């Protein structure tokens, strides 16, 4: 099987994942398990109910540690016990609207949480590769119609975006101050909006679509003209694994990487929602109702030339396929099918895609 990830590399590797109970974290752990990695997860309990983490029983498949990323002593204890070779840092408060309601908690989690995991790296030997997963929202958004590059200024607007900008800067400082000539290799990855089966978060368009479809309600869209880079969750997951693997083998590849879809998949929220309605069927429809909520950027796009050139990653699934896979997963869940089997089937399909 020709894939973008080396199976023999991951088999038996000890991997530490913060935020493993979240949507992205659960998909990452499922993919790592397929490649034979030995995983320790550290996170708060699953942020939603239901959750992919609970649906597939992930706690029984890995070394599962429930803890707050802000609790350094507990985190360090779990980290030392795991003795990881590779670390993925995903733990975060990830919702823009929630960051307006709880700015202090957002900064404590997203900034000091990053400091804490980097302190674990600094005080523990054996880690060879570290990846901090941030967001495309770290950039100072000028509403440009071209993609942001990794050299563009970081200055997120809202507390969530700004806290992730700070997380980037913390990572850059630790990298320069403590790891410039010694392991581990350190990178950050700035991904766009992800969609896929098992996302039950509030204030995200596709989960909102799914809830409306299940309840046979109209889908309410707050800002149908905002443009975002949407991609299936497996796109960044595979990119994260590729970055971690490549820099493990060659520290010169460590850096800052955008992870986003092709330009054709930077679509408006209205188009995304209509694509979902067409795929789901059953007469589902959407309505434009602006709720006058807090500021969110209207246009955001990434230039992903660097990761394509240096790491060899490229997006595979266009937005229509991403929506199709999300609907497939959700209907399997509604019909009480084996969801882990569905997840593994979709991972296999992605890896085999040319």
Q: How far apart are CA 100 and CA 337, in angstroms?
A: 38
Count of CA atoms in the C-beta half-sphere (13 A) of 209: 32
Instruction: Please state the pTM of the whole predicted model.
Output: 0.94
Query: Which pair of tokens denotes residue 173?
Result: 């400082």
Question: Please, are residues 325 and 275 in contact by the beta-carbon 8 Å criterion?
Answer: no
Q: Which of 14-18, 106-110, 222-226, 349-353 is predicted least confidently?
A: 222-226
- With tokens 């299940």, the residue in question is 214
Q: How far apart are CA 279 and CA 275, in angstroms?
A: 6
Count of CA atoms in the C-beta half-sphere (13 A) of 92: 27
Decide if pLDDT at 2 tops 50.
no
CATH fold, domain 10-201+231-262+299-318, is Rossmann fold (3.40.50)
- Give backbone dihedrals phi and psi of 41, rounded to 5 degrees, phi first: -105, 140
The pLDDT of residue 249 is: 97
Decide if pLDDT at 19 tops 80.
yes
The pLDDT of residue 292 is: 56
Residues 192-196: what's their mean pLDDT? Answer: 92
- Domain positions in the chain are 10-201+231-262+299-318
Cis preceding-peptide flag for 292 (omega within 30 of 0): no
Question: Please, are residues 104 and 96 in contact by the beta-carbon 8 Å criterion?
Answer: no
From 221, 112, 210, select the one nearest 167 (Cα to Cα): 112
The pLDDT of residue 1 is: 38
Decide if pLDDT at 95 tops 80.
yes
- With tokens 């550290």, the residue in question is 42
Q: What is the CB neighbour count within 10 angstroms for residue 163?
A: 27
Q: How far apart are CA 53 and CA 57, in angstroms?
A: 6
The pLDDT of residue 289 is: 77
> For residue 3, what pLDDT band results from cuts at 50, 70 and 90?
low
Could you give the 3-state DSSP secondary structure of residue 155? coil
Residues 40-52: what's their mean pLDDT? Answer: 97
Residues 6+ apart with CB under 8 A from 283: none
DSSP state of 263: G
Query: Which pair of tokens denotes residue 38?
Result: 């030995």
Residues 295-302: what's their mean pLDDT? Answer: 69
Query: Which pair of tokens denotes residue 189?
Result: 């990855």
Decide if pLDDT at 132 tops 60.
yes
Q: How far apart are CA 212 and CA 283, in angstroms?
A: 12
């Amino acid at each position: 099987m020709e894939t973008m990830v080396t199976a023999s590399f991951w088999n038996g590797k000890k991997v530490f994942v913060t935020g493993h109970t979240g949507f992205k974290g659960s998909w990452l752990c499922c993919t790592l398990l397929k490649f034979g990695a030995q995983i320790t997860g550290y996170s708060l309990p699953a942020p939603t109910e239901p959750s992919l983490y609970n649906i597939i029983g992930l706690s029984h498949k890995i070394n599962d540690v429930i803890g707050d990323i802000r609790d350094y002593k507990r985190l360090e204890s779990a980290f030392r016990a795991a003795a990881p070779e590779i670390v993925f840092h995903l733990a975060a408060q990830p919702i823009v609207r929630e960051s307006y309601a709880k700015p202090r908690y957002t900064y404590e989690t997203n900034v000091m949480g990053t400091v804490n995991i980097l302190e674990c790296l600094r005080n523990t030997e054996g880690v060879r590769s570290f990846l901090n997963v941030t967001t495309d929202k770290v950039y100072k958004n000028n509403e440009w119609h071209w993609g942001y590059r990794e050299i563009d200024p970081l200055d997120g607007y809202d507390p969530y975006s700004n806290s992730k900008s700070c997380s980037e800067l913390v990572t850059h400082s630790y990298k320069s101050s403590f790891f410039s000539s010694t392991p581990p290799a350190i990178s950050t990855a700035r991904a766009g909006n992800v969609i896929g089966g098992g996302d039950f978060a509030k204030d995200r368009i596709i989960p909102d679509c799914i809830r409306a479809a299940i309840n046979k309600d109209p889908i309410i869209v707050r800002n149908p003209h905002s443009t975002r880079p949407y991609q299936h969750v497996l796109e960044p997951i595979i990119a994260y694994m590729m970055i971690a693997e490549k820099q493990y083998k060659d520290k010169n590849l460590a850096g800052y990487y955008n992870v986003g879809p092709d330009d054709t998949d930077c679509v408006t929220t209205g188009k995304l929602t209509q694509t979902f309605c067409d795929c789901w069927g059953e007469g589902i429809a959407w309505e434009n109702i602006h709720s006058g909520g807090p500021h969110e950027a209207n246009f955001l796009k990434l230039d992903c030339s660097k990761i394509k050139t240096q790491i060899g990653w490229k997006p595979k699934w266009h937005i229509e396929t991403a929506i199709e896979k999300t609907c497939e997963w959700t209907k399997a869940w509604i019909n009480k099918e084996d969801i882990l089997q569905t997840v593994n089937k979709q991972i296999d399909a992605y890896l085999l895609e040319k």
